[in-house]
Amino acid sequence: MGTALPPTLAGDDFAFFPNVRPGALIWTRDSAALHHPAYDLDDGGIPRGIASFTGLAQARLAAEAG
């Protein structure tokens, strides 16, 4: 998992959510743009996404447990 990404002009209202609650927008490195006619889900990204989110949840739970 990395954090060094170039700026993007993604038009997503999610950007406003962290103004109310802590949050992060996580890109899972898929193929063409989601709403593009050539979009084809990279099934190989599913295990990577699951592993990433599981790791985040485990780290958060461990931090809260002290």
In a domain, 11, yes or no: no
In whole angstroms, how far apart are CA 37 and each of 8, 20, 34, 65?
Answer: 20, 34, 8, 45
Q: Domain limits at 58? A: 25-65
- Examine residue 20 and state whether it is found in any structural domain, yes or no: no
- In this predicted structure, the answer to whether residue 5 has a pLDDT above a threshold of 70 is no
33, part of any domain:
yes
Cα separation values, 27 from 33, 56, 63, 66, Å: 12, 14, 23, 29
Count: domains in the chain:
1
User: Does some domain include residue 17?
Assistant: no
Q: How far apart are CA 12 and CA 50, in angstroms?
A: 22
What confidence score (pLDDT) does residue 54 get?
96
Kindly state whether residue 30 falls inside one of the protein's structural domains: yes
- State the Cα–Cα distance between residues 1 and 20, nearest whole angstrom: 25
> What pLDDT is stored for residue 37 in this prediction?
83
pLDDT over 60 at 1, yes or no:
no
8-state DSSP, 15: G
* pLDDT per position as a tens digit, 8-57: 666 667 778 888 988 877 777 665 676 778 888 878 888 988 999 999 99
